[in-house]
Amino acid sequence: MLNLADHDSFTRGVPHDTFARMRAEAPLHWTPEFAGQRGFWSLTRHADIVAANRDPGTFSSAQGIRIEDQSHEEYLARRTFQETDPPEHFATRRIVQGAFAKPVIAEFEGVVRELAQDIVARAVRTGTGDGVAMIAKELPMKMLGRILGVPDADLDWLVEKGDALIGNTDPDFTDTVLDKVDTDAYAMMPFRSPAGVELYDYAEDVLDGRRPVTDDGILRRVMDATGAMDRLAFKNFFCLLVAAGNDTTRYSIAMALYLLARDPALYNTLKTGDYFDTAGDEFIRLASPTLHFRRTATQDIEMHGQTIRAGDKVILWFVSGNRDGAVFDAPDTAVLDRPSNRNLAFGQGGPHVCLGMWLARLELRVVLEEICRQTSALTLTGEPSWTRSNFICGVKTLPLTISP
Ligand code: HEM
């Protein structure tokens, strides 16, 4: 079994064999202390992850949500509402959730369509290159700008900083690699990253009116809401959106491109046009871009013949639950019309279920439709490269030829 605490275990893609063995032989698995970080429990079966995710009283988000250890001061400095439990969690979530509701997001379909048409058309003209840069990165980036309400001119910079946060363990995304260099100077910053400092400055400028934001963007709405966030909460929320609202959808689109290019029969099935309503979720299931989120046990818990002690870190490996054969027939195969796709990629079932879920799904559907409409074949010209991270399943590059 590969060591899940080690980011190098993920540099050739997700170690699905290790997760399959854990589901079968060690459904509650202990990884001992590694690289100066406390050990942790792993839950890998779908049913166990769902149960824990539904029970924030026992499996709390309020001491950190990634494997990294944090002092209480670091936790307080960096937390967003994602790192809180009900009822405190809902007090903030209720300020922002309206803007992400399904019917509100549905109104963006025209904008998404226009952007996707243009992105795919340009990729077709380019023909051969990196599918991530040509297609997967573009749409989420542009939509992030629309959702936040910031100028397009700022997007390249924001995305670069978002990548540095999410990819804080990959030398291609940051010089300050979390487990390789001393990051103590950034302990109070999002993702313990210098990019967090720069994003804080940007958010300060927004708060103080030095940077323009549109009236209908989420940043303006949050600043104007009654019971609005204080400055620190706003800055952390901004960083969360720049990170979460961008890479995850990019990597879902990239995974879809990869699977379609690898399997012409799958591409031809999608091209029939019969599966656009369900295909997106299936690609997101197989991508599982956020591999895990962490909880902390608030009491001793007996499980699978072992005891999780109060205070222990418990990792919910959504990526593993998403390939659990007890729930999914042919779990490693893309089944475009999978009935009742009970996938966990968005943290479904728990209070923290992804706010951006409807946006990500809309982007996936529309971009898949445009790819099928404008292309006749996708051909791999090499193998993908993967983000060095046990937190994010990132298709970093995807050598591809796109035929008109
Ligand atoms: C395919 C794309 C995406 C995936 C796989 C994904 C995954 C997730 C997951 C698993 C959670 C639950 C975290 C937990 O349990 O602590 C979550 C929460 C969240 N996501 Fe996403 N996400 C995606 C896209 C987005 C987008 C596009 C946005 C915003 C524009 C976004 C914003 C958020 C926020 C704000 C939360 C915190 C919600 C809360 O704590 O109540 N996500 N996401």
Whether residue 400 is contained in a domain is answered as no
Kindly state whether residue 144 falls inside one of the protein's structural domains. yes
Residue nearest to atom 41 of ligand 1 (CA): 352
For residue 152, being part of any structural domain is answered with yes
Q: What is the per-residue pLDDT for 183?
A: 86
Residue 115 lies in a domain: yes
pLDDT tens string 238-272: 999 999 888 999 999 999 999 999 999 999 999 99
Q: CA–CA separation, 26 vs 41, rounded Å? A: 11
Give the pLDDT confidence of 115-162 residue by residue, as tens digits.
999 999 999 999 999 999 999 999 999 999 999 999 999 999 999 998
Q: What is the pLDDT of residue 179?
A: 86
Whose Cα sits closest to atom 37 in ligand 1?
82
Mean pLDDT of 297-326: 98
DSSP string, 238-265: HHHHHHHTTHHHHHHHHHHHHHHHH-HH
Residue 191, sorted as left (phi over 0), alpha (psi -120 to 50) or beta, turns out to be: left
Report CA(353)–ligand 1 centroid distance (Å): 7
Classify 271 as helix, strand or coil. Answer: helix
Assigned domain for 2 exists: no
Tokens standing for 385?
């490269």
- Residues flanking ligand 1, CB < 6 Å: 61, 65, 81-82, 93, 147, 240-241, 244-245, 248-249, 252, 284, 289-290, 293, 318, 345-347, 350, 352, 354-356, 359-360
pLDDT band at 181 (very low <50, low <70, confident <90, very high): confident
The kind and range of the H/E element at 239 are helix 231-244
In a domain? residue 392: no
Q: How many domains does the chain have?
A: 1
Average pLDDT over residues 171-179: 87
Residue closest via CA to ligand 1's atom 35 equals 355
User: Is 401 a member of any domain?
Assistant: no
Average pLDDT over residues 166-176: 87
What radius of gyration do the chain's Cα atoms show?
20
Residue-range definition of the domain harbouring residue 302: 7-383
72 alpha carbon to ligand 1 midpoint, in Å?
24
Query: Global pTM?
Result: 0.96
* Cα 293 to ligand 1 centre (Å): 10
Q: Which of 172, 109, 181 is nearest to 146 (CA)?
A: 109
Helix (H) or strand (E) holding 315: strand 313-316
Residue 396 inside a domain? The answer is no
CATH number, position 222: 1.10.630.10
Return the best residue to mutate from 346, 364, 367 for the ligand 1 pocket (most ligand atoms within 8 A of CB): 346
pLDDT at 227: 67
Q: Quick one: pLDDT band at residue 18, thresholds 50, 70, 90? A: very high
